[in-house]
Amino acid sequence: MLTLYGCHGCGSVIVEAACTLLAEPYRFVVVEPWTEGPERERLRAVNPLLQVPTLELPDGTVMTESVAMLLWLLERHPGSGLAPDPGEPLRPAFLRWLVYFPAAIYPMYTVGDFPDQWVEGDEAQARLKQATMARTLRCWRALEQGTQGLGTDWLLGDRMSLLDLYAAMLSHWEPGREQIRAAAPRAVACAERAEADPRLLDLWTRNFPPKN
């Protein structure tokens, strides 16, 4: 069985979602990398960078980087429908945007959530935080424009793919879904359709509880 190290509402959600849809058994180890404790040290033992998600395979092999995990899962479950198969016309677009989420959008949180690690002084940290949020929205606009015409109800093609799941996860993060919706209304609509999949309802509720 796979062992997935992650925390609620963080980047491990996309891997959990993929495992759920693929019926891939996994054990989830909750660990907040910024919180001292035995689980943090357990994560450090398999990933010295203390990153989540981290995935440990049954043979002890350790995987980091969510895209690597997702591609490995797709190879393990060929014909799942969560991605165009190699050689299909939409495969290049799928690979482009699959990498785009963690390469263009995700790094803004690595910086913006911890501005004190990058610059000194409250004013400089506030400016950096603001700049990362502005960049995040520009990235969503680019996604919106770049995927126009690739699908109708979904970001790509005529069925839900991992791209919709990535959009669902990241659109819960700052600056918040409504601001992201204003920048990328179609992408957020696809994300919300993905969240409505009955197989994933418990997963989304657990990771992103409704706000009162």
Helix (H) or strand (E) holding 110: helix 106-112
Same-domain pairing of 167 and 142:
yes
In a domain? residue 159: yes
| The pLDDT of residue 210 is above 90 | no
The residue range of the domain holding 99 is 91-199
Average pLDDT of the residues in 60-80: 97
Q: What string of H, E and C letters represents the secondary structure of 176-187?
A: CHHHHHHHCHHH
pLDDT band at 33 (very low <50, low <70, confident <90, very high): confident
What tens digit of pLDDT does each residue of 154-195 get?
999 999 999 999 999 999 999 999 999 999 999 999 999 999
- Three-state DSSP at 57 gives coil
- Three-state DSSP at 211 gives coil
In a domain? residue 12: yes
pLDDT band at 212 (very low <50, low <70, confident <90, very high): low
CA distance 18 to 37: 28
132 closest CA partner among 146, 149, 114: 114
Q: Residue 117 has what pLDDT? A: 87
Q: Residue 119 has what pLDDT? A: 86
| The pLDDT of residue 150 is above 70 | yes
Same-domain pairing of 110 and 38:
no
What tens digit of pLDDT does each residue of 84-131 get?
999 999 999 999 999 999 999 998 888 888 889 898 999 988 998 999
Average pLDDT of the residues in 67-75: 98
Same-domain pairing of 15 and 68:
yes
Q: Which of 26-30, 33-37, 53-57 is predicted with the least confidence, judged by mean pLDDT?
A: 33-37
Q: Residue 3 has what pLDDT? A: 97
Same-domain pairing of 171 and 99:
yes
In a domain? residue 205: no
- Here the tokens at position 5 are 């190290």
- Residue 13's CATH number: 3.40.30.10
Helix (H) or strand (E) holding 28: strand 26-30
Q: Residue 113 has what pLDDT? A: 83
Higher pLDDT, 28 or 114: 28
CA distance 33 to 5: 10
Average pLDDT of the residues in 73-82: 97
Same-domain pairing of 24 and 63:
yes
Same-domain pairing of 138 and 191:
yes
In a domain? residue 60: yes
Same-domain pairing of 56 and 96:
no
Give the chain's domain count: 2
Same-domain pairing of 107 and 190:
yes
| The pLDDT of residue 208 is above 90 | yes
